[in-house]
Structure 1
Amino acid sequence: MVTFAKRFTLFAAGLAACFAISSGAARAAEPIYKVGATATGVPFTFLDVKSNSIQGMMVDAIDAAGRAAGFKVEVQQNVFSALIPSLTTQKIDIISAAMLKTPARKQIVDFSDTVYSYGEGLVVKADDKGHYTSMDDFKGEVVGAQVGTAFVDALNKKGIFKEVRTYDSVADIMRDVALGRIKAGFADQPIVAYQLQQGANTQVRLVPEYQSAVKGQVCFIVRKGDTATLEQLNSAIRKMKADGTLQQILQKWHMS
């Protein structure tokens, strides 16, 4: 004969089992977004050779956004110029990298609220003691910038340079400046500053008096019209700013 106490115990056990199954199903149901990032954008995104994974401020930011909004991320390595094509062809779902919001890009993709703001920095030879404050100071010279960046567009629009060369990475720009192949390089100021602090290239310097011509916002980026994902990201950004999570991430990477 089954006593009331035993029936109650069995009932409670059944409820617990159902709860465990439903909780597991809920966790399993969390969407996984494929996130595109670059291996050469330290401190925003970079390949950590020890873990063989992409790390950086924008990786931490999208991870935190996922926790706040209830989704998981799978970060994939892309070259900078392939980020938007990979997004529009649905190879990835979100871009989280050092990509500035521009009118031209806004015609193709949608940007979230601002995660971080910055402009370009100027790189010259370490022994070049010139006082440079703008792009105009290099009229008639050969200059360079990273392919796919807003800085290339700004330089070409000037129409005053002997040649505007494009490079796959900031490291490549600094190398050609050091070798004298180009007079000056224009690249993401926080990336250049961080790399030089880490001793990436002692033959070049970042010009402190230079005033950025292209100042913009770094955001998460989604496919045009993907309002559902965009709303999730914007809600997460608001939470991260309100509770201090974003500020902690910026401090971790020496960007605040």
Structure 2
Amino acid sequence: MIKLKTTLAAIAMAVFATTASAQTVLKVGSTPTSVPFAFIDVKSNSPQGMMIDVIEAVSKEVGFKIEFQPMPFSALIPALTSGKIDIIAAAITASPERAKVVDFSQDVYSYGDGLVVPATDKTQYGNVADLKGKIVGAQIGTRYIEYLKAQSGAAEVKSYEALPDVLREVANGRIGAGIGDFPIFAYNLSQGQFPQLRLVRDYKSGLNGGINLAVKKDNAELLTKINASLTAMKQDGRLKAILEKWNL
């Protein structure tokens, strides 16, 4: 009897080990500088942020391991469509153009664009049209570039690799204003960074929308599991707790 129990225990452990080792590993693309959504913590050299916490919670519930692949925002969709990554976890919006080439989850969080100008600029900017004649900047690969070109009447629209680059350019006086994700601008300025800048509170966002997880086109099985997990997280309060952790 003892020998039988020992044999059964050994078999159970072997099955468990095989299952654990066979757990699917999915590559998740994220941005290194989009605080508080997805960024690399310089102290731990590890991915951090709201969307990182979300995809980690999803992975535990769905049952896959994560291998993070930090990359510039503009490289995320090409990496997903080419198969270099399996999921995007970043501050990315499900625009109609992007939805033609990748599939998006339900909304994780919603917000609009923000405007930063030099602190010495006391102009009351109400909307993007008030930037007429200025040199303005935004992050490459985002909707803001075409939005500025079409709606602002700006003298020139410059593109930058990351939002901190936009903030630095405004702070250094190389451009007159920057458009980008309101929560990222607000978080950076609230941390005491870029005291030379002002976040225009009266500015009315022209590009409002949700941010989402993204998967390769037609990966319906994975998308269904992700959406089911997000729904559960919204219902049981886990998503709310993550948002509160990052002051969102």
TM-score (norm 1): 0.94
1:235 aligns with 2:228: yes
Residue 125 of structure 2, aligned match among 124, 128, 132: 132
| 1:179, distance to aligned residue in structure 2 (A) | 2.3
> Which structure 2 segments of 5+ residues have no match?
none
What SS does structure 1 have at the residue aligned with 2:26? strand
Q: In structure 1, what residue type is equivalent to 2:8? A: L
Residue 32 of structure 1, aligned match among 16, 25, 32: 25
Aligned twin of 2:237:
244
**Where do residues 1-256 of structure 1 align in structure 2 (5 Å cutoff)?**
8-158=1-151, 160-255=153-248
CA contact (8 A) 1:222 1:230 kept: yes
Q: Could you tell which deviates more after superposition, 158-167 or 103-112? A: 158-167
Distance (Å, rounded) in 2 between the aligned partners of 1:149 and 1:46: 17
- Superposition misfits of 4+ residues, deviation over 3 angstroms: none
| 1:178, distance to aligned residue in structure 2 (A) | 1.7
| 1:159, distance to aligned residue in structure 2 (A) | 6.2
| 1:200, distance to aligned residue in structure 2 (A) | 1.7
What SS does structure 2 have at the residue aligned with 1:36? strand
Q: In structure 1, what residue type is equivalent to 2:4? A: F
Count of aligned positions: 248
Percent identity of equivalent pairs:
46
| 1:141, distance to aligned residue in structure 2 (A) | 1.4
What SS does structure 1 have at the residue aligned with 2:112? strand
What SS does structure 2 have at the residue aligned with 1:92? coil
| 1:246, distance to aligned residue in structure 2 (A) | 0.9
CA contact (8 A) 2:111 2:182 kept: yes
| 1:36, distance to aligned residue in structure 2 (A) | 0.4
Q: In structure 1, what residue type is equivalent to 2:55? A: I
CA contact (8 A) 2:39 2:48 kept: yes
What SS does structure 2 have at the residue aligned with 1:113? coil
Distance (Å, rounded) in 2 between the aligned partners of 1:245 and 1:108: 30
Distance (Å, rounded) in 2 between the aligned partners of 1:153 and 1:249: 32
CA contact (8 A) 1:54 1:76 kept: no
Deviations 1:25-64 (Å, cap 9, x if unpaired)?
A: 2222221110000111000011111111121111111000
Aligned twin of 1:3:
none
TM-score (norm 2): 0.97
What SS does structure 2 have at the residue aligned with 1:131? coil
